[in-house]
A and B are shown apart, each in its own frame.
Chain A
Amino acid sequence: MSAAVPIVITGLGCLCGAGMNLAECLESMFRNERNPHPPLRFSTDHPVSYPVLELRDEFRLPLDDQETVYARTSQLALAAAFEALADAGWDEESLRGKRVGVCIGTTVGCALNCDDFYRAYKDGVDPEMGVIERFLRSNPAAVIARQLKLDGPNQTVVNACSSGTDAIGLGASWLRAGACDIVIAGGADELSRVTYAGFSSLMITDTEACKPFDIKRKGLNLGEGAGMLILESEAVRGAKKARGYMLGYGSACDAYHLTAPRPDGAGLKQAMYEAFAAAEVTPEMISFVNAHGTGTPDNDRVESRVLSEVLPDVPFVSTKGYTGHTLGAAGGIEAVFTVACLRRGELPANIGFSAADPELSGAPVIENTRIDGNIAMSESLAFGGNNAVLILGKGDA
């Protein structure tokens, strides 16, 4: 594994249950507010209702009524990409002629989750094709490229819950390889009745607001949203200030079980060490960790075990109490938060945590906490045993 060149991050964009843009998200998280509630955008006949973190408001894209042609996941991806591009000082015009790559993680954005269509099909009705046509138009990475008329590498990563983290790592490697000048990277996912049913069937959703790393944690709350970073080559960046740096990426597969994480966390550790090596940092240099912290008993056990072994005494936080688990978007949103927290020099409290679990080796930050360092880590664990880790650096603006 060769060491990687730092990649400058020039723009950040994010929307989720915590806020409609990055500034709103940070404000509500540092006020330690959250708003889980039963899903409003769909219903089920499930006897138990699980709280979710939906977007608080409707959002409108700066497009000529075209948003209706894309599925919600791609609309979310576009909204976060527009915010990040504006933050980096780009628009469609100024991007013209640049080699721009798009690398986006998702789960729902690539799944043919059309249950109303399928119900009609099963009932012997011939359902209309509108929903399928929309699905075929809505591949998240392809939508961003098409909407901004981009020419360059393009990838939609479907590594389940580590997709967003993987997408940022893979996108950065395109820049290092000289395959493009700019990369729009992150993740996007909408709340869907299908994933809601799926996660309830796995019995890893909490009937109350989720409690990452707490002794009484029962499971996750689903969420929705998107988080995007703009990565640039030094040549294109010019004199532009850096919001942060993408220093290194590592990933590894547990090769253990379809849904359960490997109890000894060997895959997560391997991903961490690969990311450290890529970023040429040592564990002592990490000032905090944005943990995966879904609030499921298994995830938090394995994660805290590995964190206490590799990064003992390093403060960590799960921001999923504020955002819910946004699946493929989570890695994107959390990378954005990690860079923003480095910039702010502060971590929000791990909301939902009140009492330590003696079975876990460490505890997350319980209040908003000052941090001093310049380097932080964001990590994701996923279905299928994927582990992905990003090392991110503090910028100068």
Chain B
Amino acid sequence: MSVKEKLKKVLIEDLNLEDVEPEEIEDDMALFGDGLGLDSLDAVELVVIVQKHFGVEIKDMEEGRPAFQSVNTLAQYIEQRLA
């Protein structure tokens, strides 16, 4: 499973997005605000998700913010950190 696919799966599971299918999350869809509709509490949960499922630590929100734009940017961030 690619990082993007795994990301979509764990987003749905760990953020309880029961009404969303992985296919419905587009790679460049905004995670926060109008796109997937996540908020500030999801953002900090997302830090835990990335740590728990990918072993990648995000130290603070300033570091996380650019990565948290979309599945694309987050997957890219994770891949870079794992490389």
Contact = CB atoms under 8 A, between A and B. Distances in A.
Q: Report, as a range, how many residues of chain B touch the other chain.
A: 10 to 19
Nearest to A204: B44
Contacts of B60: 203, 218
A202 B61 CA distance: 10
Contacts of A258: 41
A257 interface: yes
Contacts of B40: 257, 259-260
Interface string B60-74: 110000000000000
Given A259-B41, A260-B41, A47 B47 contact: no
**Interface on chain A toward B: helix, strand, loop, or mixed SS?**
loop
Interface in A341-387: none
B63 to A, nearest CB: 10
Interface residues of A, number: 10
Contact of B44 (A47, A202, A218, A257): A202
Interface in A21-57: 47-48
B47 A203 contact: yes
A108 to B, nearest CB: 21
Contacts, number: 19
B28 interface: no
A270 to B, nearest CB: 22
B48 interface: yes
B57 A47 contact: yes
Nearest to B64: A203
Contacts of A260: 39-41
Interface in A183-234: 201-203, 218
Interface in B36-52: 39-41, 44, 47-48
Contacts of B59: 48
Interface string B20-32: 0000000000000
A203 B61 contact: yes
A350 B48 CA distance: 33
Nearest to A258: B41
B12 to A, nearest CB: 20
Interface in A156-207: 201-203
A201 B48 contact: yes
11 contacts: A47-B57, A201-B44, A201-B48, A203-B44, A203-B61, A257-B39, A258-B41, A259-B40, A260-B39, A260-B40, A260-B41
Interface of A: 47-48, 201-203, 218, 257-260
Interface of B: 39-41, 44, 47-48, 57, 59-61
Given A47-B57, A257-B40, 11 more contacts: A201-B44, A202-B44, A203-B44, A203-B47, A218-B60, A257-B39, A257-B41, A258-B41, A259-B41, A260-B40, A260-B41
Q: Which 8 A-B pairs have the closest CB atoms?
A: A203-B44, A260-B40, A259-B41, A202-B44, A203-B61, A203-B60, A258-B41, A201-B44
